[in-house]
Amino acid sequence: MSQERWSAVDEYFARVLVPSDPALDATLKTSAESGLRAINVAPNQGKFLHLLAKIKGARRILEIGTLGGYSTIWLARALPADGTLVSMEVNPGHAEIARKNIETAGLSSVVTVMVGPAVRSLERLIEDKVEPFDLVFIDADKESNPDYLKLSVKLSRPGTVIVGDNVVRSGRVADEKDNDTDVLGVRSFLELLAADSRLTSTAVQTVGSKGWDGFSISVLS
């Protein structure tokens, strides 16, 4: 099967199951016009995250990697009235674009975007002894995934769901000769998931408009 066919199926799913939404459409448009890379989740993937948060009944969500705020909006819309979402973005320019998109979506009172290296932001939350999160979405630089996981677990509680994005890397994750830093980061991340007896985990491959990739999902006991 070709990338063209994968993209066509994603477009079909989105057309049938993910109706056009003004705020989300505007977020993609603003992000593109601002020169952000088109590495956001696809619409059907965004709704999948939304449904995961709904199924979990998440009241507090942590997102590592904001970009333009597209997945942020999907996740924040799953929150109850008293819910909160903390998103982390290393690039100040990206964070500003995301904040504007989040404001357009009417979610500024729900979402906080922390700017700076995510490891430091996570450490600050731990130091501040914040209330644990119910769902964590890890979607930033893959080289740092092992650190993100270790710190995210410290910000979790029994039952917390942890989702890692982009874990397949077009199949390169299974190529032992591939020593790309992102691939190595994903492998270490997956090995940590397997080694932590508190975590029950699996990973799933996906194909679609974002190519051949996949995600991991874990539950903390």
Amino acid identity, position 34? S
Instruction: Inform me whether the pLDDT recorded for 1 exceeds 90.
Output: no
Q: Which helix (H) or strand (E) holds 212?
A: strand 211-220
Residue ranges of alpha helices (H) inside the chain are 3-17, 22-33, 43-56, 70-76, 92-104, 118-127, 145-154, 181-195
Which residue segment(s) compose the domain that 124 sits in?
A: 3-220
Task: Classify burial at 206, counting beta carbons within 10 Å of its beta carbon; exposed 0-12, middle 13-18, buried 19 or more.
Answer: buried
Number of domains in the chain: 1
Predicted structure pTM score? 0.96
Q: Say yes or no to pLDDT of 120 above 90.
A: yes
In tens, the pLDDT along 14-46 reads 999 999 999 999 999 999 999 999 899 999 999
Tens of pLDDT, residues 92-109 = 999 999 999 999 999 999
Report the CATH number at residue 172.
3.40.50.150
Structure tokens that stand for 138 in this block:
């890890």
Helix (H, G, I), strand (E, B) or coil at 218: strand
Share of the chain above pLDDT 90, in %: 99
Residue 170, sorted as left (phi over 0), alpha (psi -120 to 50) or beta, turns out to be left
Residue 89, SS3 per DSSP: strand
Contacts of 173 (CB under 8 A, 6+ apart): 167, 183, 186, 187, 190
For residue 109, CA distances in Å to 51, 77, 117, 165 come to 21, 12, 23, 26
Is the separation of the CB atoms in 208 and 6 below 8 Å?
Answer: yes
